Chains A and B, each alone.
Chain A
């Protein structure tokens, strides 16, 4: 009886924590279907008008596009560079490994605003403020620490003897990477890609300062709207679509992952 009681208590606790974590998302999704002119919760009438608005609104469309392109390019660069750095640090075991690891994580130690101001003055000197390359560089800078941390942990967990065994079986360094190291690092690569993309996609602070008026990302656009006109229900609808998209990606990923496990 006691065990059933404590199990019930535990279940209640788990549900409470989940609710607490997911409540904002639920609010978001319900409000997105509201028919009113301003953001409100709970919704009083239901309509798809904000979704329609979101899909036809060119400003939001273009800033979503900017966010996506920026996220993909800077994630690719950040994950690529940090994978190489992590592999070198883990396999090469240089004496300065610890020092370099700390340096790679350094951007996390300061508030993003401070970084953004420093980047702004450097990029002004280089003349790349407000340009796409400048923005990409800034996003690589803020996503690298996350990507690097995950990749270092990933390579640390791959037994170097697996690579040695592959070499003894006739695998050239290229084949070792393609057949052994990469497949084993794949989960780490996936999560560092996801994290890097999310950090880039969600950034407001650095982007606002570096991008200027030329490249307005979705969160920057939302934030500036918020300050001038209050909460725009269109952004709520877009956010709801992003949540739906994320869920689809996760479900698909899970399916594919399990499929790949089966074979």
Chain B
């Protein structure tokens, strides 16, 4: 694995009628990895996927796959599998004909192609004897056919465009596990586009978080969760994502909250510990599951309970504090005194970001 990576994306640019969709994207993917492009709609993730598939031409930059420059290769010569959100199965062909389509295009011998169709259908857990048309299948089954069709050609790269978005919640959870399993069995390098951070966290080896046509951070899921590079990522990753509390340093020991209220936290969370000078505007990210709730103690953040949601096992407590509404995740058994409570952030180094740039103020550890 030394030298250049399997997929190497360099300075890919794309604009639509003057609006920039992608700014100089660089991304390396190791062979056999499962990588997600995660971001809200309009962040450029689908544009990047289409450029990789060869369906869109980039304005600049280059893409190398397995050492070969594929930037100007037409899609039908790339051998890259593609699965769409709406499955895009050919409605006039039977399921087997759908799966065999790519093999026919390769000019594969008929018996060999039929064998490959059986294998591919079995791989996604479908009965190879299915002779029906795609329209007669459920959404989940159509999805499997689409995946079987894409992997039948033994692609060099598998691209999944929001593959789970059209499925209901229960099925989505099941299929995302299956996607990861399938990836582990086939070893096909996979790139999945998704707007669902839970999906990305659950399936991926690495996640590239995108926003505004840029990759903000490219990390393993744990690292992304533990050490988000920007306030945007902290506020996007996690279920529910971190609370973003705007505050400014009053002096070395205290913060001023959004409504002007002063908060004097424990020493490790004070402006001095983070190296923030008086007057600097910051954002502190507080994970809902890392906040402890109490009624008395040093350094607590005073708040008032606004609403409580029971989510089975846990409760989500919505707390109004210093002009910002926070979500706190507590065990369902925990008794809630209230409505006035104190919130205690964890004692380790805080997730603190510059309010203007959104960048992390102090590196973790």
Chain B residues with CB under 8 Å of A172's CB are 74, 76
**CB distance A166 to B101 under 8 Å?**
yes
**CB distance B86 to A159 under 8 Å?**
yes
Chain B residues 246 to 273 lying within 8 A of chain A, measured CB to CB, are none
Chain A residues 179 to 194 lying within 8 A of chain B, measured CB to CB, are 179-180, 183-184
**CB distance B81 to A168 under 8 Å?**
yes
Chain B residues bordering chain A, tally (CB within 8 A) = 26
Q: Is A124's beta carbon under 8 Å from chain B?
A: no
- Name the one of A167, A171, A180, A184 contacting B55, with C-beta atoms under 8 angstroms: A167
Q: Which residue of A lies closest to B86 (CB)?
A: A161
Question: How long is the Cα–Cα vector from A257 to B75 in the complex, in angstroms?
Answer: 33
- B322 CB to closest chain A CB (Å) equals 48
Q: Mark the stretch among B33-41, B88-96, B184-192, B232-240 that contacts chain A.
A: B88-96
**CB distance A171 to B82 under 8 Å?**
no
A99-142 contact mask (Cβ, 8 Å, vs B): 1 or 0: 00000000000000000000000000000000000000000000
Q: Which residue of A lies closest to B107 (CB)?
A: A170
**CB distance B101 to A169 under 8 Å?**
yes
- A185 CB to closest chain B CB (Å) equals 10
- A176 CB to closest chain B CB (Å) equals 8
- A149 CB to closest chain B CB (Å) equals 23
Give the dominant DSSP class at A's interface. Answer: helix
Chain B residues with CB under 8 Å of A166's CB are 90, 101
Given contacts A169-B105, A170-B105, whether A183 and B78 have CB atoms under 8 Å apart is no
- A172 CB to closest chain B CB (Å) equals 5
Q: Which residue of B lies closest to A183 (CB)?
A: B92
**CB distance B105 to A159 under 8 Å?**
no
Q: Is B153's beta carbon under 8 Å from chain A?
A: yes
- A250 CB to closest chain B CB (Å) equals 22
- A235 CB to closest chain B CB (Å) equals 42
Q: Is A165's beta carbon under 8 Å from chain B?
A: yes
- Name the one of B86, B91, B102, B159 contacting A170, with C-beta atoms under 8 angstroms: B102
**CB distance B76 to A162 under 8 Å?**
no
Question: How long is the Cα–Cα vector from A198 to B44 in the complex, in angstroms?
Answer: 49
26 A-B contacts (beta carbon < 8 Å): A161-B84, A161-B88, A162-B88, A165-B149, A166-B101, A167-B55, A167-B74, A168-B76, A168-B80, A168-B82, A168-B150, A168-B159, A169-B76, A169-B150, A169-B153, A170-B76, A170-B77, A170-B79, A170-B105, A170-B153, A171-B76, A171-B101, A172-B74, A172-B76, A179-B101, A184-B91
Question: Which B residues form the contact surface with A (CB < 8 A)?
Answer: 53-55, 74-82, 84, 86, 88, 90-92, 101-102, 105-106, 149-150, 153, 159
